[in-house]
Amino acid sequence: MKRDTRLVMLLLLVIGCSLTSLTIWKVLSSRDRALAEVDVHGLNLTQALNTYTEGIVRQSSLLLLGLVERLETEGSGPVQIQRISTLINLQQPLMPQLSGITAQHMPLVMAWISWKVESLSSTASGARPRLRKLRSSDWR
């Protein structure tokens, strides 16, 4: 009788260990699958953000190069600056990603454009472009 009890206890112990190890294996494999899915979703999000950012940079570059071209051909007088400001305000609804470029940021944009024009003209002549230090009045 004691022998049967020991065999039953041993059998229950083996079954308990088997169930415990099976549960641990399922939990670990489920965890691995979840981590793999998170990794895939993270990579997809990174790819989408990269594509979106490249599009914004391209749009910004095209806009700024267009403004540089306009300034090179028309000059940078007050009338031309006002027309460029109007052009930016007209193009702003078409590019909501660039909504940060508004009339209050125009001095900064103009400083960048004038630097770009200087660097393009000085590069053509072989001189190095000089950066102009921005003053606090340029931000207003």
Structure confidence at residue 64 (pLDDT) = 78
Structure confidence at residue 84 (pLDDT) = 78
User: 85-98: buried (b, 16+ CB within 10 Å) or exposed (e) per residue?
Assistant: eeebeeebeebeeb
**Boundaries of every domain in the chain:** 2-139
Query: Which mean pLDDT values do the consecutive 10-residue runs of the chain (140 residues) have?
Result: 89 96 96 94 91 82 80 79 79 68 58 66 54 48
Q: Could you give the CA distance from residue 1 to residue 87 in angstroms, rounded to a whole number?
A: 98
The pTM (predicted TM-score) of the whole model is: 0.49
Q: Could you give the CA distance from residue 121 to residue 72 in angstroms, rounded to a whole number?
A: 10
Tally of helices (H runs) and strands (E runs) in the chain: 3, 0
Structure confidence at residue 25 (pLDDT) = 97
Structure confidence at residue 95 (pLDDT) = 72
In this structure, are residues 88 and 106 in contact, taking their beta carbons and an 8 Å threshold? Answer: yes
Structure confidence at residue 36 (pLDDT) = 94
